[in-house]
Structure 1
Amino acid sequence: MDDSVLLRFLNNGLINVGGEDTKLEKLSQAAKDLAGALKKSPSKALSFSLIAFDPEAPEGDPVVVEALAALQARWTTYRNTFSSTPIAVIRAMLLDALMTAAGDDERVGVCFVASARNALPLLHADNERDIWADVVARIEAQVDIRAEAEWSTPASIAVAPMSYDLPKIAAPSVTAATIERTEFQREMRAAAGPQYHDPQNGNVQTGGNQYWPQNQPTHWVNEFGRLSAAAVADAVDAAIAEIEITQPDLAAPFNQLAKSVSTYVDDTLKSVSAATAGLQRRTSLLWWKEALYSPTARTSYRELPVTVAAAHMALDLFNQVPLFSPASVAAFLGEVVLRLPGTENGEDWAIRELVTEAQDEASLAPLRSAAADLVGAPDGRGPLLALIGHPDHAKARGEEAFQILTGVPADARLDPVAWAGWIFRELQASKAASDDSPAKRRARKG
């Protein structure tokens, strides 16, 4: 923004530091200290926001006390300037701190915007409304950039080629065999004729071919072919039988290849799933809208009282969407609620009555459980979920304590659409305030 939040509060006559720039600088330093506290503990964003919204914030609230301590540390004599507890100054400091912290941590932005969308319609200070509207719009636009990225579906999905290091595989080894020459020679002699001449022993009978080629050539050829073929075949068969071929061990390389392929396919499927998550989410929401069935109540929304159904819808939608969701999701919820019978007449209920119903209605036990997990028991300014999630706490049902603990005027009323939106946004804000995952932090600039 061109002007700081503190300066805009000053220019609108909402705070007065006697026209001294040094005092405004002290306020700015205290606001930066509070922003630093938010960065260290984003869970404070919800309580900071709820006090910042309320011109009638109680002086004894823990957030007010913390902000006064920060102011005291930077401006020891601030009490000489203000005749009473400067709630307007505290609220301006908190808003400035929230805006600064939201620039570094989008969880703070989610928490602030969700809370603001509930509280601003009830804000009676018209001279502040433009400042709030501008800050909320700017932070919401920043959060929506992240949300739209998580909900988008790319036109194409790039998948890296598979990388695989080919293993070194040894070549097969062959152990050659040899023919037993003496036996082979004996058999070939037997095939050649009835006898052969040995220098030492003279003529030796072969016991094979009984014919000589010059005497009976036809018979000799027949016997020679038969006996020599058998001798050659036996020699070849014997040599082949003794050949040994050792194959390389392919088990390890194939196992590694199978693992690499499996990992590649798994990573590819994850990439596709992540890229199409937005489309899958939208498809699931459309099914939910058309079915009008509550997974938490395990019945049709049409079978429930309209305000109870609206509360279930808020919880069911919260369970289906991620923390970073575009503003259109709350509008989608409103359209689903409008499909319920009983919403056409525009009837509304006191917010305190709706909270009491949420505390007592048996079917809303899942909402109470979720609220208790996200928000602690009422202690200082907090969301309606603190009362809903801890209905037996001493301060959860007190009529006088209701406005002090929530900042909601006793006469404030909501219709089912607004009630569902309120619960959904409080669930989102509470989740943002309680989620300490580093993955939710934005990378710092500069």
Structure 2
Amino acid sequence: MSEDVLLRFLGSGLIDVGGDDTKLEKLRVTASDLAGSLKKSSSKALAYALIAFDPQAPVDDPVVVDALDALKKRWATYVNTFSGPPVAVVRAMLLDALAQAAADDDRIGVAVVASARNALPFMEAGDEREIWADVVTEIEERVDARAETEWATPSSIAVPPMVFDVPELKAPTVTTSRAGRDYLKKEFRAAAGPQFQDPQRGNVATNGNPYWPGNNHIWVTEFGDRMAEAVAESIDAVVGKTRIEQADLSDPFRELAATVSGYVGNALNTVTAATAGLQRRTNLLWWKETLFSPTTRVSYRDLPPAPAATLMAFDLHQQVPMFSPASVAAFLSEAVVGLPSIDQDKTYPMRELVAEAQTEAGLAVLRTAGAALIGPPEGRGPFLALIAYPDVPVARAEAEFRRLTGVPPDAQLTLPAWASWVFRELQAARAAKEGSNAKRRTRRS
């Protein structure tokens, strides 16, 4: 889609380069330059989108001025082609740049889609509407597909089997000793009779059995007792000196414990990741039913209707990831409708809703968080810039409201729609901010 955006503007008669392909190519190159600038600093995505959406975008807006400077670098004589500042050409190039950048970075896509859902219904797009619808729909489908995947809960969770290489264990070491032969000879002789014949010494007393086998009944008893004692003592001596050294199993068991621990940890992480969407939905249902603010620790029932709706938008933003399905904003609307003090059909001027958010004490957390996501209002930007920087003079000037937001100050919304608007702006600002931070970290590394 991004490749034929400029052609579609030309074909619809929204921009005119006099049929000169060379001039068209200069516009394309400039659009690529703007896309490159956006990829380097995705925080520009909101301002780019809000100018590109608005057929009545002011000529002196910083985004328009920067885009014309970029065009001048590629086409120094562009002023001779157009009767005045070519805002329509700038907007076409910005749309092309947004489409290119969003194709490479889904965070920019989030910023574009969230801004489009808010602003486009208030813009008099006219003949551009079909072009915008096609570009935004393409980006939206891609972003929503990613969001649905991140929020999905699988029907089953596959955990791979544990892999463990059983180490080769050493066999136990057995140390034994031999029976004392000299001891047994001495004791056996002592058991056999009172003396034995030695070739060198002759008859040698055994100091043992005093009987000879002739005294059979007495000798047998003495012989048996002495032999039993001699053999038993020899066996005890051998057994007593036997040592069995077991293999050292400490390292294999430590390795097994580490493997099991890692496997269980990975399995739990797999289950946690797979059920994150279910857990998130469960938490949101609890939040919706309790109508209690987790950030300010107060019940939404205790707040005035408009601040309550605004705080609910901020609290939901705090609880969900950057990539969230479009249905989350619808969920927020239903949660706001659940407030007992809400008239879901009553409309409020958007300028008044912004002014209340700038001063309401209970929305200080929103203003602080907004200031961390976006800079003070200068040119076209979201309502969040006005809310986060209420002390900047232009932030409270009614005459500047249209120039800074693109929305007429008397435009009205119901509170459920207002909450969805604030939620989308917060999501868009976070996506743009995180995209820029990620690019800065990449460049530093």
The residue that corresponds to 1:443 in the other structure is: none
Q: Identify if the C-alpha distance between structure 1 residues 29 and 400 changes in structure 2 by more than 3 Å, giving closer, same or farther.
A: same
Matches of 1:316 and 1:114, distance apart in 2: 17
Instruction: State the shift of 1:46 in Å.
Output: 1.4
Larger CA deviation: 172-181 vs 194-203 = 194-203
Report the TM-score when normalising by structure 1.
0.92
Matches of 1:124 and 1:195, distance apart in 2: 134
The residue that corresponds to 1:298 in the other structure is: 297
The residue that corresponds to 1:171 in the other structure is: 171
Given the alignment of the two structures, is residue 53 of structure 1 paired with residue 83 of structure 2, yes or no? no
8 Å CA contact retained: 2:314, 2:423: yes
Larger CA deviation: 339-348 vs 145-154 = 339-348
The residue that corresponds to 1:258 in the other structure is: 257
Alignment of 1:229-308 (within 5 A): 229-308=228-307
8 Å CA contact retained: 1:296, 1:312: no
> Which residue identity does 1:197 align to in structure 2?
Q
> Which residue identity does 1:304 align to in structure 2?
L
8 Å CA contact retained: 2:293, 2:300: yes
Matches of 1:211 and 1:439, distance apart in 2: 105
Report the TM-score when normalising by structure 2.
0.92
The residue that corresponds to 2:158 in the other structure is: 158
Matches of 1:198 and 1:435, distance apart in 2: 105
Larger CA deviation: 139-148 vs 386-395 = 386-395
Q: Secondary structure at the match of 1:396?
A: helix
Q: Residue by residue, what CA displacement relative to the aligned partner does 1:164-204 show, whole Å, maximum 9, x if unpaired?
A: 33334333222221222222322222333333333333333
Instruction: State the shift of 1:311 in Å.
Output: 1.4
> Which residue identity does 1:341 align to in structure 2?
P
8 Å CA contact retained: 2:322, 2:430: yes
8 Å CA contact retained: 1:306, 1:341: no
The residue that corresponds to 1:216 in the other structure is: 216
Larger CA deviation: 374-383 vs 126-135 = 126-135
Q: Secondary structure at the match of 1:179?
A: coil
Q: Secondary structure at the match of 2:197?
A: strand
Instruction: State the shift of 1:246 in Å.
Output: 2.8
CA-based RMSD: 2.2
The residue that corresponds to 2:443 in the other structure is: none
8 Å CA contact retained: 2:3, 2:96: no
Q: Secondary structure at the match of 1:294?
A: coil
The residue that corresponds to 2:425 in the other structure is: 426
Alignment of 1:20-419 (within 5 A): 20-217=20-217, 219-419=218-418
Q: Identify if the C-alpha distance between structure 1 residues 237 and 51 changes in structure 2 by more than 3 Å, giving closer, same or farther.
A: same
**Paired-residue identity, %:** 61
Q: Secondary structure at the match of 2:393?
A: coil
Instruction: State the shift of 1:345 in Å.
Output: 5.0
8 Å CA contact retained: 2:144, 2:324: yes
Matches of 2:286 and 2:228, distance apart in 1: 82
Q: Residue by residue, what CA displacement relative to the aligned partner does 1:30-61 show, whole Å, maximum 9, x if unpaired?
A: 21221122222222211111111122222222
8 Å CA contact retained: 2:112, 2:428: yes
Higher helix proportion (structure 1 or 2): 2
Q: Identify if the C-alpha distance between structure 1 residues 436 and 33 changes in structure 2 by more than 3 Å, giving closer, same or farther.
A: same
8 Å CA contact retained: 2:9, 2:92: yes
Q: Secondary structure at the match of 2:396?
A: coil
> Which stretches in structure 1 are left out of the alignment for 5+ residues?
441-446
Matches of 1:395 and 1:132, distance apart in 2: 30
